[in-house]
Chain A
Amino acid sequence: MNTMEALGYEIRSKNAGPFSLTIDVFCQDSDVFARLAAEPKLQAPAIARLFRRSVESISVFRIEALNVIKISLPRPVIQGALQDRDMHGAQWAFMVRDALLAAEQSSD
């Protein structure tokens, strides 16, 4: 479950250098893209709250040609610092997915 087939989207996160995190939301088609592009959980204020960063530090790119929503932010912890728990930053995508699933369930 929770694959592109089940949800209509897939979320990945990755370092963009040691100091930035980038989250890509791949939508299966333009309908899912249109829905998620308007989804409050994927807007800068919600992402800022989720990752405890300032709203100004969050960039959201809605790339219609690819049906992708890209969110970039300062890495919550610098890569490889003593407090870092995930060298490649891939697990943060699950936070966004869980927040999105919770929002979808509560609106059902």
Chain B
Amino acid sequence: MNAKIKVLTPTGAIGTGFPREAFEKALLECPDVIAMDAGSTDSGPHYLGTGTTKSSASILRAELRVFMQAREKLGIPLIIGSCGTCGSDAGVDLMRGLCEEVAAELGQTVRIAGIYSEQPASVVKTALWEKRIKPLQLDFIDDALVDRCSRIVALMGVEPFIHALEEGADIILAGRSTDTAVMASLPIMRGGHPGAAWHAGKILECGASCTTTPAQAVVMATIDETGFTIEAIGEGARLTPRSVMAHMLYENSNPYVLVEPGGVLDVEGAVYTAIGERTVRVEGSIWKPSEDYTVKLEGAAPCGFQSVVMSIVRDTEYLERFDEWLACLDAVMRQRIEKHLNIGSGDYDLQFRAIGRNAALGEFESRSATPVEIGVMAMATSATAERTKDIVALLNPYLLHFPLPGDKDLPTHAFPFSPASMDRGVVYEFVLSHVMVVANPLAPFRFDMKTIEAA
């Protein structure tokens, strides 16, 4: 057993940039693994719905090249979780393709593991029949909902990473994973303190966000048998017990407890001690294995074809009587749409967002003021592309010319572009917040190992 395992996380997500000098400096400290993730649900359901990646392939490739060079030089594994923003199979394949290209370019011989986390509907339905699906924040689930999902992924814990490492993987490109598991896997495999390994994983997951100098630092955690030490590396890089502890708050509803596949991390009793200006020691984190091994499921389902039309209203009287104007426009449009297309109010979704008034908070907005102008964004969604196109065609002249009640002159509002509408294609929604109980932590995931030989 290796007494101290060093995990280097150069960035909160590959494709978003990292301080190159700090990374090179960290390599001098001989990390045991370079680990990071490539996605989250934070960008919304579009990515999981379509299986596509937010980052540009050329930027991913350029960063991957730097990490692959460093990995080979030190002879250590490189682990990237949640490939392709949403962890889709296509996201893993995208990263594998880039990785193979770069390996050929650099003349590297590398063993690459792809770990796939998409779940066929049949697997989830079987689990549902066997009562192995438990609700988290959403109760409802049935076969029809599972079938509606265009894609379901399961979030892997440390075991699939450990399996790939034991099979000799130099580079692991994984589908959807918990942020923490990506970083915790090698320390746990080598016998590091499990509470410390998971806690270090959580602190590392957003890269240098846990430092007071996020723009100029990379972070490295050293996990041992009793705890971990976290270090900010880079010119002027600093972290404090407060900045480290505060990261437990980040995107986390409970600051002390983190539920992971196979157990729960409890950091309520953790003690954070500064060792100089850029290192903090953490002890007292507890890992409590759970009775059932569960993996969280994420699923996105299509909810229609959407188009958006935007118009800008500037006339002073219109701004002063804006609510009245918008209420009239809304009523007139619904009437016209339902009459002309011979449909009911449940056959489409139409919303107006008044930018400059309450677009971000809607009915929760408590502030009011008369702005210089208001952007009126009409969003139309329906089950077919044709119907949405029809609705947008009806909206177009009204958004351009709709008058205030009693106004005899026909106004012309501002359309910022031609065509005035933007077709957003199919839009998706997150519909699953459930866990699946599994007998074997590897069972929901598929492995594809391949050694690329240098030419």
Could you tell me which A residues sit within 8 Å of B by CB distance?
14-20, 22, 24, 51, 59, 61, 63, 65-66, 68, 70, 72, 74, 76, 78-83, 85-88, 91-92, 94-95, 98-99
Contacts and interface: CB of A to CB of B under 8 A. Distances in A.
B407 interface: no
B433 interface: yes
A85 B366 contact: no
B242 A20 contact: no
Contact of A14 (B250, B353, B366): B250
A76 B363 CA distance: 11
A17 B41 contact: yes
A22 B253 contact: yes
Q: Place the interface of chain B in its size category.
A: 35 or more
Contacts of B255: 61, 63, 70
B250 A20 contact: no
A66 to B, nearest CB: 6
B249 A68 contact: yes
Nearest to A102: B366
27 contacts: A14-B250, A17-B41, A17-B253, A19-B137, A19-B433, A59-B253, A61-B255, A61-B256, A63-B249, A66-B249, A72-B253, A74-B137, A78-B430, A79-B44, A79-B430, A81-B303, A81-B429, A82-B303, A85-B353, A85-B359, A85-B361, A86-B360, A91-B360, A94-B361, A95-B366, A98-B366, A99-B366
Contacts, number: 96
Contacts of A85: 353, 359-362
Interface in B336-367: 349, 351, 353, 359-362, 364, 366-367
Contact of A18 (B45, B359, B379, B427): B45
B249 A70 contact: yes
Contacts of A74: 137
